[in-house]
Each structure stands twice: as structure tokens, then as C-alpha cells.
Structure 1
């Protein structure tokens, strides 16, 4: 076969969109007598591996009369990506030659499997063999970060010195601190990275990425440093950082939480890419938390009808919460009723809780109680606590709060909502019951038992209805 013909076939293999196309090219290579061509076979093997097609990759690998280190690495990567740790290790032991990519695959494979001990053994062995690379360092650090072992991650990071870490290393450490509950440490690392980058601007490998900026913006939100978050947003423009949905979400979440709705919506409107479901959820939730319930409902309808984005369970929690906080009873009823028949999302306890809260806040306590009766499973303390929030309470309505408080005490002894009944009694000037109820709840919690030991059930609710 002519070299240019083979090159064309290799390009076709690399560009094929799916499994069927790859298998068709595989068959063509066999018919043309090219089964022994290691370049073509490796190209096919790599395509199978990238698509997670381990079985055809394994068959092709076994059929190859000759295998070079690239073919071994491609098969090793396919096994590692599929989580077949034992098979990957067996193949690794068979390899006549190993490259840094071979060691990287094994370190990554064991880290993903949660076996950090074996991962560290392979990592240390790669150092001893002189076959380590920044990829293996990053994989090992990432494994420690995801396991919450930040001291071990920091020890490796410090051992890398000042020349080996790239921006992925820094991003990994920042994310580790953030997810480990130490956003201040993530911000401190960002400042260090920016200082080094400004001193060594020729070091393109240390230029902050979209991931860097999204991580530090999230950290600023968690510590409440919105001024710094705004400054970092400006830096993304100065650095020419690509704005993707992840960074957009981080920025919108920050602006919504600091009450800067117009800036959050400006980020949303100027996104260079089409907003995905997560972006819409952030907008709906952010509008709701800032008292813009009608705008949140409008955004929900725009998402579903105007942009044809399918809502999920998180979407409905966001929009129903927005309805609750803004008292949009009619809209909340309609959206909740349409969840399953129109959108195919089955209501869960969180959705029932939002609607119960909405109805109770609006004074529709009887309707809320009937809704609780239709809930799948037992209502939790959060749902029942909504009955203590009904406004303008009358003497005859205290029965609902008494019933809810009993259910709360039986469901969760540590839930402070049971104490809310005292405020209900006070609102109708039942001062005798205020002190009596507080004593009952305090005694129940002190002795580790509920105010009632009988199991809460539908029968109690039925009597009230």
C-alpha cells in the first residue's frame, strides 16, 4: 500500500465518529491485507480505547503479530480507563519496554480505584526508574487530594520544587483545599500562582486557566470575599481566560450570593457558549434567593420552552423554592403538578417540602396537610416544620402545629423545629402551653426519646382531615 494511502486511512481512523465506523475501517484493513501494519492497528486500537470499547480493543491487540510500546500503552490505557486494574497490571508486567506514559497509566489507574498504597508504590518506582513525568506527579497529588489527604499532597507538591509543577498541579492543589473545606488555603495558593506567573510571564505552563479561575471564584464565595471575587472576574478579562459554563456558574453563584443580581445576569447573557442545564439552574435558584420569584418562574419557562432544555430534579427545587419565597402559590401549584406528566421528573421529598412550605406560608394549611398525605414515604422534619410557619394563626389552627411538632419530635430529636410550637402557642396567648411544651421537648431530648413513641402514620393525619 502506498504511504499516502496508508496515511489517509490512518487519518480516517482518527476522525471516525463511532464504533461502527471504526469496525468498518478495521474490516477494510483486514481485506486489504494490512493486519500486520502496526501503525494502522495502533491507530484503531487507540480509537477503540478512547471510546471505552475494551473488548474490540483487546481482540485487535491479541491479533497484532507485532506490538510496539505505543500499542502496549494504548491497550494499557484502555484497561486503566475501564477500571480493570488487575488486567492493567498484568499487561504492565508483560511489557518489554516502559515509557513514562506506562507508569502514568498505572498510577492513575490505582488512584481512581482508591488504592493509594499501590499507586504510591508505582509512583516511587517510576522515580527510581527515571520514568516519571509531571503527569504522574499530578496523578498522585490528585489521588491524595480526592482522598482528603492534603498533608501527603502538600508533601509531594513541595518536593516538586519550583520548576516541575505546571498549572494543572496548582489547580489540583487548589481544588483539594477547596473540597477539603479550606477555601482560604485555595485563595492563598492562587495568589502564589499569580505572583510566580507575573514574575515568569514566559512560562506559559503556569498561565491560569478556566479551571483556576472557577476554583478561586468558588473559594471567594465560600469565604464571603466578594470584593476579591469581583477583582478576579476582572483578571479573567485581562488574561483573556476562556469563559466556559463552569466558570460562568461560579461567577453567577458568587454574584447572586452577594446580592448583585444584575452582574450575575450580565454573566449569563454574555456567555460565549449556549447555557447548559447547570447554568439555568444557577440563574433560577439565584433569582429565587434574591426575592425575584416571578423572574425565576419566567426563566424556568424560557429554559423549557424557548431553549428546549430539559429540567431535572434540581431545577424544580430551585423554581419551587423561588415560588415559596415570593408567595407565588398558583405558579408553584402548576409547576409541581406538571413535574411528572409534562417533564418526566418524579417529585421527591425536597419538592414536596418546597410546596408544603409555599402553601403554609400562604396560609393554605389544610391543602398542605392533604399534600403531605400523598407523599411517598414518611415526611421528614423539614417538611413538617413548615406547618409551624403559617401566618396569622388562629386558635383552631394550632392543632396542625401540635400534630407537626409531634411528628418532628418522633422523626428527629435533634431538629430544633419542635421548639417552634412554643411560638405558635404564644401567638394565640396560650402561655400555659408555652412553658409546658418547652418542658416536654427538653425532657424528651434529654432522655433520648420523642414526645410520642408511637410511629407517625397516615391515620393521625386522617383524623385531622
Structure 2
């Protein structure tokens, strides 16, 4: 029999429990565990049945959760609380949150008394592991014993449904049991709508929304988000405006989906209107909102407004910084992205993996190897070198900056199984450096050694490698292989690479035949490499054909005029060359001056 603690010990434990309850309710789980350790050191003799449910809840957030949980379990057993239904339920829940479903089930089976909360905890444990059929089986066992599920049972089940059929069956069961018939079941109805949205049934979710007497802000945002994710921007705005007419008090959560919709829609006027509404409702200034607004304006091609939102943000977190840096990079302004990144490094905010991947891409676009190496040093110092996105970005940066050896070193340093992105980046690196044999060798290793299936992007790199290395037969073989072996339909970039491959090898007739096989609207991107090949092989007749076609598709491109004029000049056709340049002048086109950039003294100056 467990010895009862003295009155002074009980009083002391009561005070400790008050502190533990306060820390747990505020989400300060580390403090909860520290307070429990203090109880053990205080001589009180351990916790009570009030202590352990809170401490077990806190332990799942520990870095060594399962070890801490098992230690607490031993304390519970030693102190004789293993028969307490609340403590046992907390143990069950703790093991499931730690991913130990076997221990959860064992605790459940050993319980002498099981209330609805205990059954719901076991159902939740299966749902966390996506074992919905097993969870439903527990529900059936529960009902067979005469216990009726609660609304919490279905709140747990709906998000876990992995198929629409499972979701609809669960909805039907909840309806039959009377859980979806009253106005007091708004959270459960929201869960049903969330399940429908998850399985692309947003119209059905909206039908439920419109029947609700008093939908909550979550009800409206669930349907709005569903339309946004499905790309139905018009419907998303319709639901949002309907919500405003219902005089629902808008908070910053309500703006998440609609701001994303503005980015998809790309209408600057609508975007500005939504931004004005965030200011009117007092939601501007929230970090999450500022982050979304920056991205929204960037997608609407308004970098000035994006920068204004960024500059006006009072306390910029890493996500706001990353959004603005990404906006510059995606808009083709890598130098501005780099400049902003340098400003970021002067603040107390630390860039994360996403920030570093974006800035490495900017370094690649500008050829700024020195900054790329600084970023690599930062990555190594802060232990971020194992992140897949960062690794792939480093490979891409080193390849684009001319350091193929360093790119290969990073590639080889990936200890775990390399994903397709890493293989494709390295293959593309070899391709742009004209190292066709190395690219093909790596391509074979990727399939034969790792069993990774290539995608369209990988084949673009392979065709590019063959083109730059003059491997015509290999290129033709791989072009057929992508369709025959992997069912990948060639895209315009694959055909462009094929034309470039044939043209470089002097097989102009076949390149012309390939180009003419396409509709005229697709041919536009294929005539440029063909004209370049005509110049290389001094074929004026086909060059004139290509030039005429190019001028039809892109009359404002000076490069095509210059290329044709140079072809005439190389053949001594000075009159034709002069006529081509005069035509360019008549259309008000000026040849853009050539430029290059060189890093001086590794300072990053250009």
C-alpha cells in the first residue's frame, strides 16, 4: 500500500501543482518539466494524480520525449497511480504523441476503467498514425460496449480521413447520431467542411456553410481557403464578400486565404483594395499579414508596393525578409536580392534554410562566387548543411558560378539517399559546362544505382548536355526514351533542345523538319537556335527563312536582326547586311550593349 504523505508535504505539493498548472496552461512545457524535477529534489516524494496528467502532456514537447515519458511512466507505477483513469489516459496520449502506438495500445488494454475520454484518446492515437480503419474499429468496439461516441470522437476522425469515401461515411455516422443537426455543433460542422475541402469538394462545403445559422470565422475561412487552393479565385472572393456582408468581425486569419487569392489573380487594383481593408480592420502590422502582402504585391508585379509593405513592417521576422528577397529574385533582380540579404545579416534576425536557398539562387544568377562561398560558410557554421533544399541550391550555385568541382564535392557529401532535385542539379551543371559524358554517366547512376525515375526537367538537362557536347545519336536516343520508357510527353523546351542539338551538328534539314512539324505559335522559340545553327554552318538560304519567321514572331528582338546581319557579313553580302541593320533602325530598335561582370579581389564588387 502506498504511504500517504504528511500534511506539510501535501501542502507543499499543492503549491507545486499550482505552479505546474499555470506553466502548462501557458504552454511553457519546459518549465513544467523543470518544476516536476524540483518536486523530486524537494523531498516531497513525487507528484500526485493531479501532477502527472499535466507533466505527461508537457513531455511530448521534449527533444527526448519518449525517454522522458517512459521515466514518468515508471514514476507513476512506483507511486501507485497506474490505476487512475486520468493518469492512464494521459499516458496513452503521451505515447501516441511520441509515435509509440504499441505502448499506447498496451496502456489502453491494461485500463480497468475506460471512460469516453479514454476511448477518444485511443481513437486519436490511431488517427495520428493515419490508421483510420483501426480508429473506426475502436469506435465500433466502444458502441458495442454501450458507450456512445461524443462530438470529440468525430472531431478527431474527420481530419484523419484519407479518402472521400471514408469522410462521407464518417459524416453519415455523425449525422445519424444527431451530432450535425443543431446550431451548437459549429466546430464539428467546420471539421466536416474541412474534410470536404481536403478532398476537393469545396462546392459541397459551401452548401453546408450556407445552411448554417451562425457560422464562425473558421467556417468562412475554411471554404474561402478551399477555393483558393483549388484555384477558383472568383468563388473565393464571392465567399469573402458574403462574409463581410454578414458583418462577421474580421481578424488577421480571415485575410490569409484572400490575400493568397489576390496573388493568384494578379489584379493589382483588387490587391490594393484588400490591403486597404487590412489597414481599416487593424490587421496590418501582423508579421504573417505583412509576409503575405509582400508576396501578393510581388505576384502582381508591383515590387514598389511590396517594398513599401516591407519597409513599414515594424518588427520584421525572417519570413518577411525572405518574402522580399524572394520577390526581387523571382522578378529577375538578383542584385537587389543580394543587397537586401546583406542588410539582413546586419540585423539580429537569422536567415533560415529558405532564405539561404533563395540567395544562393541569386548568387548563381549573378555569378557572385565569393558571396556564395560566404553563404556556404554561414551554412556550415550554423549546422544547416544537411538540409536538402540548401544542398541542392549550393550545387546549382557552384555550377552556375563555374566551380563544377565544388558542386561535385557538395553532391558527394550528401550522405542520405539523394533526391531527384540533387541529381538533376548536378546533371544540369555538367550539361552547361559542356561535360556531356559526365552528365550521361551521372544520369545512368541515378537510375541504375539509386532507382530514381527522371522527370521532364532531368531530360531537358540531358538533351542540353548532348547538344553542348555534340552527342547527336545519344540525344536522339534519349529524346525517344523519355516517351517510350517513362511516358513523358516532350514539352517545348525538349523540342528546342532537339533543334539546337541537330543544328549544332549541322543536320539542318532534320532540324528544319522538326521545327515545321509544330504549330506556328509554338515555333517561335525554336527558330532562334535554328538561326544560330545556320550562322555557324554558313547556310544563308535557311538562315533567311529562319530570320523571316523570327521577325514574324518577335519583331522587337534586336538579337535576331543582329544575328542575321552577321550571317550576311560572314558571306560577304554587305548590301543585305546593311539592309537588315537599316530595317532594325527603321523600327526604332537599338542593339543592347554587351556586358559581363567580374569579381575583383573576391570582394563581390562588379
State the TM-score, normalized to the length of structure 2: 0.59
1:95 aligns with 216
1:412 aligns with 2:554: yes
1:277 touches 1:311 (CA, 8 Å); kept in 2?
yes
1:258 aligns with 401
Cα–Cα, structure 1 residues 147 and 360, in superposed 2: closer, same or farther, change >3 Å? Answer: closer
CA deviation after TM superposition for structure 1 residue 103, in Å: 4.1
CA deviation after TM superposition for structure 1 residue 261, in Å: 0.4
Superposed CA offset, 1:79-119 (max 9, x none): 77766796798679523999x99945422222232265457
Question: Using the alignment, how far apart are the partners of 1:271 and 1:92 within structure 2?
Answer: 56
2:234 aligns with none
Q: Residue 352 of structure 1 aligns to a residue in which SS? A: helix
Match of 2:259 among 111, 124, 133: 111
CA deviation after TM superposition for structure 1 residue 259, in Å: 0.1
Q: How many residues align?
A: 429
Instruction: Give the alignment of 1:36-435 within 5 angstroms.
Output: 36-48=149-161, 64=179, 71=188, 74=191, 94-95=215-216, 103-114=251-262, 116=271, 117=273, 121=277, 125=281, 127=283, 134-135=287-288, 138-140=291-293, 142-148=295-301, 161-162=314-315, 165-197=316-348, 206-241=349-384, 243-375=386-518, 380-385=523-528, 386-390=530-534, 393=537, 397-415=539-557, 416-435=559-578
CA deviation after TM superposition for structure 1 residue 231, in Å: 0.6
Question: Using the alignment, how far apart are the partners of 1:171 and 1:336 within structure 2?
Answer: 38
RMSD between aligned alpha carbons?
4.3
2:427 touches 2:462 (CA, 8 Å); kept in 1?
yes
Ranges in structure 2 where 5+ consecutive residues have no aligned partner: 1-113, 223-249, 263-269, 590-606
1:50 touches 1:78 (CA, 8 Å); kept in 2?
no
Cα–Cα, structure 1 residues 377 and 410, in superposed 2: closer, same or farther, change >3 Å? Answer: closer
**Larger relative contact order, structure 1 or 2 (CA cutoff 8 Å, min sep 6):** 1
Q: Residue 94 of structure 1 aligns to a residue in which SS? A: coil
1:141 touches 1:172 (CA, 8 Å); kept in 2?
yes
2:561 touches 2:584 (CA, 8 Å); kept in 1?
no
Question: Using the alignment, how far apart are the partners of 1:149 and 1:43 within structure 2?
Answer: 43
Q: Residue 526 of structure 2 aligns to a residue in which SS? A: helix
State the TM-score, normalized to the length of structure 1: 0.74
Q: Residue 247 of structure 1 aligns to a residue in which SS? A: helix
1:381 touches 1:411 (CA, 8 Å); kept in 2?
yes
Cα–Cα, structure 1 residues 61 and 144, in superposed 2: closer, same or farther, change >3 Å? Answer: farther
CA deviation after TM superposition for structure 1 residue 255, in Å: 0.8
Question: Using the alignment, how far apart are the partners of 1:161 and 1:185 within structure 2?
Answer: 21
Question: Using the alignment, how far apart are the partners of 2:150 and 2:207 within structure 1?
Answer: 25
Larger deviation: 41-50 or 291-300? 41-50
Question: Using the alignment, how far apart are the partners of 1:97 and 1:399 within structure 2?
Answer: 67
Superposed CA offset, 1:121-160 (max 9, x none): 46854759xxx97545544554445445555555555665
Ranges in structure 1 where 5+ consecutive residues have no aligned partner: 198-205, 448-465
Question: Using the alignment, how far apart are the partners of 2:398 and 2:474 within structure 1?
Answer: 26
CA deviation after TM superposition for structure 1 residue 319, in Å: 1.5
